[in-house]
Amino acid sequence: MHDIRAIRENPETLDAALGRRGAEPMSSAVLALDAERRAAILAAETAQADQNRASKEVGKAKASGDEAEFERLRALVAEKKAEVAEMQEKAKVLDTQLTDLLMGLPNLPLADVPDGADENDNVEIRRWGEPRSFDFTPKEHYELEGVKPGMDFETAAKLSGSRFVLLSGGVARIHRALAQFMLDTHVEEHDLAETWTPVLVRPEMMYGTGQLPKFGEDSYETTNGWWLIPTSEVTLTNIVNGLTVDEGYLPRRYAAHSQCFRSEAGSAGRDTSGMLRQHQFEKVEMVTVCHPDKSLEEHERMTRCAEAILEKLGLPYRTVVLCTGDIGFGAQKTHDIEVWLPGQNTYREISSVSTCGDFQARRMNARYKPTEGGKPGFLHTLNGSGLAVGRALIAVLENGQQADGSVDLPEALHPWLRGKTRLDASGNLV
């Protein structure tokens, strides 16, 4: 959410930043609504002052026996009381409208975010690992003989509909091992605090991180008004919702493994084969809450945490900085990490790491108290996948595939599989 005072002082800054995103200028609409709201507040305060003055004079008129003046003043008090109520209600309605308008405006990209229209304008900043050369044509994950017994889309469709999968046997165990490997690595080597959170949240938590009000169709709402989380970014970030923490409490670095739920409303027809894009999936999410001076440093740190997981698994990847036309609603700057999938002969996103500045903190009213004293300031928040477990499974299966449909598994994963090193062509771990 944006600071209305900053928009009043520099409306052109808002419009220029929105223009970089390809959005229409909004400062005029914001300021017009703000001016109307402030006028209503002033009118209510003026009427209240008139009411108070008239109320003081009523007693004097009564005591002096001036019945006409008494009746005039009493009528004026009633008139001003009604006017106060009317203006206060108008100000309340306008305040809600202004808040809703500000809630619907995206975050402003940082100056070093490259300009661009869409994903084709993203800028690669580094690459790690060489894609493996195959002496056969590599297949996609769901086509592998060793994977087919443990990856059942037909039964999942019977149970729940399209974009679900039923994992079993060796494939399910690899999936579980990947999540445990990621979480343990982040806790033991990256100094993140392991956290387990609910997957159902109140709507105000979704407002806090920016999923509501604009993107409600992308998530699932229950009949009692709770929401299934699209990522544990929602729960981890909202730990500080409504709090003012001591500066010494910072930074707070969290990691959580959770189920995630997305309706994929805007992705009809995309990635319908296999388990690349599902309604229900698992992620190990990273969230950092920090002092404003440290957020860019934390952004680089979190990106390296995610990259390190891929490097330990021996999976080639590239890291790109998203352009202004591809960056997410709540982000100031985003690094996408894309893993190599030989079955598709391309890199696909496996993590997005974003710094949000104080955008979410303003929505959550989350602040910090400076150690040296002074006025509390808004926190900065960051989030990123560390990693998407299902996509990591796809990458491990495709990069380790053999001609007979078996899969050689990354050495880093062996301890979490109790020494098993391969998924054979029958779907068994050996």
**Token digits for 33?**
């609504």
Distance CA 350, CA 337 (A): 6
285 annotated as ligand-binding: yes
349 annotated as ligand-binding: yes
262 annotated as ligand-binding: yes
Pairing assessment for the beta strands 252-261 and 193-194 based on DSSP bridges: parallel
Pairing assessment for the beta strands 252-261 and 280-290 based on DSSP bridges: antiparallel
233 annotated as ligand-binding: yes
Q: Is 411 exposed, middle or buried (0-12, 13-18, 19+ CB in 10 A)?
A: exposed
351 annotated as ligand-binding: yes
Q: At what angle do helices 27-64 and 11-20 cross, to 10 degrees?
A: 150
**Token digits for 165?**
């999968």
DSSP letters, 281-302, are EEEEEEEEEE-GGGHHHHHHHH
**Token digits for 43?**
């009118």
User: 3-class DSSP state for residue 341?
Assistant: strand
Distance CA 172, CA 149 (A): 11
219 annotated as ligand-binding: no
426 annotated as ligand-binding: no
Half-sphere exposure in the Cβ direction for 170 (13 Å, CA): 22
User: 3-class DSSP state for residue 199?
Assistant: coil
Q: What's 221's DSSP letter?
A: E
Measuring CA to CA, which residue among 341, 301, 334 is closest to residue 319? 334
Dihedral sign (CA 397, 399, 402, 403): positive
282 annotated as ligand-binding: no
Catalytic residues: 262, 277, 349, 352, 391
Phi-psi region of 80 (alpha: psi -120 to 50; beta: other; left: phi over 0): alpha
Residue 37 to residues 14, 33, 87, 94, 315: CA-CA distances in angstroms? 20, 6, 9, 5, 55
Residue with tokens 């945490």: 305
∠ at Cα 301 (295, 306), nearest 5°? 125
Binding-site annotation: residue ranges for L-serine: 231-233, 262, 285, 383, 385
Binding-site annotation: residue ranges for ATP: 262-264, 349-352
Binding-site annotation: residue ranges: 231-233, 262-264, 285, 349-352, 383, 385
